[in-house]
Amino acid sequence: MTIRSLQQDLADFAAEREWERFHTAKNLAMALAGETGELLEIFQWLTPEESATVMSDPPKANRVREEMADVFAYLLRMADVLEIDLEQALLEKIAINGRKYPADRARGRADKYTQLGG
């Protein structure tokens, strides 16, 4: 299975339902954010400890899986519509972040790179 084949499945799904006109980049960004909001709702009242064991509660685990699948679906669909290679974009972003957050200065710190000094 590849990112590309998942994107093809999602494109076929939309085409069979004539949903392409809804799937503008702007609308897909909103749908992605809407699904992310549903993911937040699962975690919002949990302590850090409870959030770590969320997958051992089957109904909650199922909700988490489904919401993450929805986020993934809209992210892949949006990348397809915009013709962005997500895997390549991520590798480039990791390289950029490697320069912004050198391991010796960023170690154990959650600060933004602009506050790491240099």
Residues of this chain, 34-93, that bind a copy of itself according to CB under 8 A: 34-48, 51-52, 54-55, 64-66, 68-73, 75-76, 78-79, 82-84, 86-87, 89-93
For a copy of itself, which residue of 16, 58, 114, 117 counts as binding (CB under 8 A)? 16
Q: How many residues does the chain have?
A: 118
- Taking the complex as a whole, the smallest distance from the CB of residue 96 to a copy of itself amounts, in Å, to 8
Site membership for a copy of itself, residue 98 (CB under 8 A): yes
Contact 79, 10 (CB under 8 A): no
- Taking the complex as a whole, the smallest distance from the CB of residue 11 to a copy of itself amounts, in Å, to 11
**Alpha-carbon dihedral 6, 23, 71, 107, rounded to 10 degrees:** 100
Distance (Å, whole) CA 37 – CA 54: 17
Distance (Å, whole) CA 4 – CA 12: 12
For a copy of itself, which residue of 99, 103, 114, 117 counts as binding (CB under 8 A)? 103
Q: For a copy of itself, give the closer residue by CB, 17 or 58.
A: 17
Q: How many Cα atoms occupy the beta-carbon half-sphere of 115 within 13 Å?
A: 5
